[in-house]
Chains A and B, each alone.
Chain A
C-alpha cells in the first residue's frame, strides 16, 4: 500500500499529494508518470510525477472524473492500493540554451520538475503559466528559479489577460528560443504546437490519452505521431507536438465520455456535495 504523507489544496479542485512509493521515488526522472489505482474497485489512471524526494513522490491532481474526485477526497495517512512506475521515457535533458516552459492548469505541475532540471543543466529558463483565473495558476511561487516568468489568465485576474499562446508569441517575438515544452489540457497543447510550428520551434508535449496498464500491453493510448502509430505509455509520453495528430487525440479522449459521466454522477449521488474540492 502507498500512504499519503502530505496533502494540501492548491486551488479549487486541484490537490497536491506526497505519496510514499520508495521504488518509484528512487528511480523517477522528470517527464515520467505513474499509474495509480486507489482501491480494489478502482480504475488505473496515469498521473505525471511532479517531484520526488527520498521515498515519496509528488502528484498534483485535478478533479475531473470519478476517480480524481475520489482521490482528492483522501486524507493524509490514507493509502492508495497501487502506485506503479515511474513509467514512460524521461524528458530529454541537456544544455539547449534558452528553453521556454509552458504550463496550463494542472500541467503546471508537470512542467515543474522538467524546468527545474533544465535549469540545473545550465539553460536559461522562461516559464509561462496559464490558468482560467489567478487561483488556477498553481505553484507559481515554486518557479522562482526561472529566469523569467509570464502569467496568463482567461479573466485577467493575474498577469496577461489571455491564453498561454499569447505569452508564447510575446516571448518568441522578443527573443530566440531553442526548445520548448508545453503541458496542459490537450486543446492547449494543440495550439501551442501549432504556434511553435510557425516559428519552426521544437516543442515537447506530454500526451494524456486514455490508458489502462501504462506498460505497452493494451494499446488504448495509441496516438499518431509523424504519421506513425505510437503507444504514448511506452513510446512517450512526450512527443514533438508539431508531429502529433491532435484532432485524432481529442476525438479519442471522448471514447468513454458517457461512462465517465455515469460513473461521476453515481459517485456524487452516493457521497453528496463534493465539499472537499
Chain B
C-alpha cells in the first residue's frame, strides 16, 4: 500500500461531560473542513465497496468521500441526497457501527478503526446547510396520481420525498403538531437538535410534499376516506405505544414510561418550563429500566433535568445491551450508573402514592432464548431494595392501535404488526404499503427510511402499471 492509513478515526469534538450534563445542547460538535478531509483520506476507495452493502439506503459512500477529499463538499452533498433525503439526521443517529462502518474494509485491518462514514455524512449535510442553503434537485413533470403517507416519521418522510421527486402529489398525515415522528418526540435535543429536523422538513416541503399535522388517521379521517381519495397509501405510523412491565405499583406517582418523559421534554420542550407550559417531573434518584437507545436517552435526559443519581438496570448483561455503543459511552462519561443482571419486581410507594423504592431481583444468564441471547433467570432469594423517587421504564414499544382498529382488513402478524412483502412493503390490500416500526417492531431510523425507499419504488411501479385512471 502506497499511503499509510491512520489507524484511528479523526476524533470529533464534543462538549465536555461535566458541562453537557447541565444543558440540552448537542453533545457532538461535528468536523471542521480540515478534519473531514483528513478523515476522508482514510478511505481506500474500494472498487467493490463493502460499506455500501451495509447501508440500508445504499448511499454511494466512496463517491461522496472522494468529493470530500477533493474539497468539493457541495458535490458530496448532492451525491448523498440522491440516496438519502435526511443526511444530517442519519449522520447523527444511524448505528453505523452495525451498518456501513461494520463492513468498511479499513475497519477489517489489524488495529484499525473503520472510516467515520457517519461523521462525514453529518459534516457534508451541515456544510451544505450552512454554505449553500436549501438546494432542490430537478423535479420532473407532475404525475396525476395522489399518494397518502400516514405518519411523518423518518420512513414516511423518505417515502414521501422519493415519490415527490418522481412527480407524484404526496400528502403526509401526521397526528402530532410537528412532523418528524420519533425524530421530534423521541430523540433528545442533545443527540439531534430539533432545528436540524426542522431544516430537513423544510427540504421535504420544498420538494412539494404537503404535510398536514393534527390528523389522527382512524379518527380525524378514516382509512376508507383515504383509500377513496388517494391512488396509493404508505403506512408508517411507528411503534409508539409504550410497554410496561406490569409489576405491582406501576401506577404510583413517580413511575413513567420513557416515552412520556421524552415526549414532554422533546416535543413539548418541558426542559424549558415554565417558558413552555408543559411540565416534567425532575427526579433526584432515578432508575431507568432497560438498556436500549431509548433507555440511554431517558437516563441522560433525567440527568440533565437535575437528577443527582441515575442508574440503568438491565436484566441481561453489558454484552447483550441493545444500545449503540457510542450512546453507552456517552452515558458512562456523564456518570450514569449501570446495574446489570437486575430486574425490578415491585414498586414501593408511600401513603400518598409516591414512589420511594424499587424491589429488584438479581438475574443470571441461562441458555440462549428465541432472540439468540442468553435468557436471564432470576436468582431466588437475591431480592434487594433500591431507594429511588423516579422510575422510567424503557422496555420497548408496541403498535399504535388507533389506525389498525379502524382498518381491520389489514393483515397483521402474530405480534400485531402489519404483514408486508419485505421487498416491496406491500400489504395484503392492493395499493396499501407499510414499513418501519409498524412492520418490524421498534427498530432504527435508517431501517424505517430503507423501507420508505423500497415502498416508494414499489408504489411507483404499482401506479405505473395501473391502466385505470387516477382518483380526483
> Residues on A close to B: CB < 8 A?
23-24, 27, 37, 41-44, 66-67, 81-87, 212-213, 215-220, 222-224, 229, 234, 245, 248, 251-252, 254-256, 259-260, 262-263, 266
Interface check B17, CB cutoff 8 A: no
In this complex, the member of A83, A212, A252, A260 whose beta carbon has the largest number of chain B beta carbons within 10 angstroms is A212
Q: Which stretch in B133-141, B218-226, B445-453, B455-463 binds the other chain?
A: B218-226
Interface check B381, CB cutoff 8 A: no
A215 touches B177 (CB 8 A): no
A83 touches B275 (CB 8 A): no
Known: A37-B177, A41-B277, A248-B353. A218 touches B260 (CB 8 A): yes
B220 touches A24 (CB 8 A): yes
Least CB separation from B213: chain A residue? A82
A66, A84, A216, A254: which contacts B220 (Cβ < 8 A)?
A: A84
Interface check B274, CB cutoff 8 A: yes
Instruction: Determine the chain A residues whose CB is within 8 A of the CB of B256 once the complex forms.
Output: 219-220
A41, A229, A245, A262: which contacts B276 (Cβ < 8 A)?
A: A41
Interface residues of B in 253-298 (CB under 8 A from A): 253, 256-257, 259-260, 263-264, 268-269, 273-279, 281
Known: A222-B251, A229-B246, A252-B253. A27 touches B214 (CB 8 A): no
**Complex Cα–Cα for A234 and B216 (A):** 12
Interface check B203, CB cutoff 8 A: no
B215, B216, B279: which contacts A259 (Cβ < 8 A)?
A: B279
List 17 other contacts, CB 8 Å, given A41-B269, A216-B241.
A86-B220, A213-B176, A215-B240, A215-B402, A217-B241, A218-B257, A219-B259, A223-B251, A245-B251, A251-B253, A252-B251, A255-B253, A259-B273, A259-B274, A260-B279, A262-B274, A266-B274
Least CB separation from B275: chain A residue? A41
10 smallest beta-carbon distances between A and B, as pairs: A259-B279, A251-B353, A218-B260, A43-B277, A43-B278, A219-B257, A217-B240, A23-B220, A82-B177, A84-B214
Least CB separation from B240: chain A residue? A217
**Complex Cα–Cα for A87 and B400 (A):** 14
Instruction: Determine the chain A residues whose CB is within 8 A of the CB of B177 once the complex forms.
Output: 37, 44, 81-82, 84
- Expressed in whole angstroms, the minimum distance between the Cβ of B322 and any Cβ of chain A is 21
- Expressed in whole angstroms, the minimum distance between the Cβ of A260 and any Cβ of chain B is 8
Instruction: Determine the chain A residues whose CB is within 8 A of the CB of B214 once the complex forms.
Output: 82-84
- Expressed in whole angstroms, the minimum distance between the Cβ of A76 and any Cβ of chain B is 21
**Complex Cα–Cα for A84 and B281 (A):** 25
B263 touches A67 (CB 8 A): no
Least CB separation from A222: chain B residue? B251
Interface residues of B in 86-139 (CB under 8 A from A): none
Least CB separation from A218: chain B residue? B260
**Inter-chain contact count A-B, CB under 8 Å?**
117
**Complex Cα–Cα for A87 and B244 (A):** 22
B268 touches A212 (CB 8 A): yes
Instruction: Determine the chain A residues whose CB is within 8 A of the CB of B269 once the complex forms.
Output: 41
**Complex Cα–Cα for A87 and B176 (A):** 13
Instruction: Determine the chain B residues whose CB is within 8 A of the CB of A218 once the complex forms.
Output: 242, 257, 259-260, 263-264
Instruction: Determine the chain A residues whose CB is within 8 A of the CB of B273 once the complex forms.
Output: 259, 263
Q: What are 19 A-B contacts defined by CB distance under 8 Å? A: A41-B277, A43-B276, A43-B279, A82-B213, A84-B177, A84-B215, A86-B220, A215-B216, A215-B400, A216-B241, A218-B242, A218-B260, A222-B251, A224-B251, A248-B251, A254-B253, A256-B279, A256-B281, A263-B277
B250 touches A229 (CB 8 A): yes
Instruction: Determine the chain B residues whose CB is within 8 A of the CB of A255 once the complex forms.
Output: 253, 281
**Complex Cα–Cα for A33 and B240 (A):** 20
**Complex Cα–Cα for A102 and B250 (A):** 31
- Expressed in whole angstroms, the minimum distance between the Cβ of A72 and any Cβ of chain B is 15
**Complex Cα–Cα for A218 and B280 (A):** 13
Interface check B470, CB cutoff 8 A: no
- Expressed in whole angstroms, the minimum distance between the Cβ of A78 and any Cβ of chain B is 17
In this complex, the member of A43, A215, A216 whose beta carbon has the largest number of chain B beta carbons within 10 angstroms is A215
Instruction: Determine the chain B residues whose CB is within 8 A of the CB of A44 once the complex forms.
Output: 177, 268, 278
A219 touches B400 (CB 8 A): no
Least CB separation from B212: chain A residue? A23
Instruction: Determine the chain A residues whose CB is within 8 A of the CB of B263 once the complex forms.
Output: 212-213, 217-218
B274 touches A263 (CB 8 A): yes
Instruction: Determine the chain A residues whose CB is within 8 A of the CB of B175 once the complex forms.
Output: 84, 213, 215
Interface check B142, CB cutoff 8 A: no
Instruction: Determine the chain B residues whose CB is within 8 A of the CB of A217 once the complex forms.
Output: 185, 240-242, 259, 263, 400
B221, B275, B276, B402: which contacts A23 (Cβ < 8 A)?
A: B221
Known: A44-B268, A84-B175. A219 touches B219 (CB 8 A): no
A219 touches B279 (CB 8 A): no
B216 touches A87 (CB 8 A): yes
Known: A248-B251, A252-B253, A266-B274. A220 touches B219 (CB 8 A): no
**Complex Cα–Cα for A23 and B241 (A):** 24
Interface check B401, CB cutoff 8 A: yes
Known: A23-B215, A223-B251, A252-B253. A67 touches B277 (CB 8 A): yes
Least CB separation from B250: chain A residue? A229
Interface check B371, CB cutoff 8 A: no
Least CB separation from A88: chain B residue? B219
Map CB proximity to A onto B296-330 as digits: 1 under 8 Å, 0 otherwise: 00000000000000000000000000000000000
Instruction: Determine the chain A residues whose CB is within 8 A of the CB of B185 once the complex forms.
Output: 213, 217
Instruction: Determine the chain A residues whose CB is within 8 A of the CB of B242 once the complex forms.
Output: 217-219
B274, B278, B401: which contacts A212 (Cβ < 8 A)?
A: B278
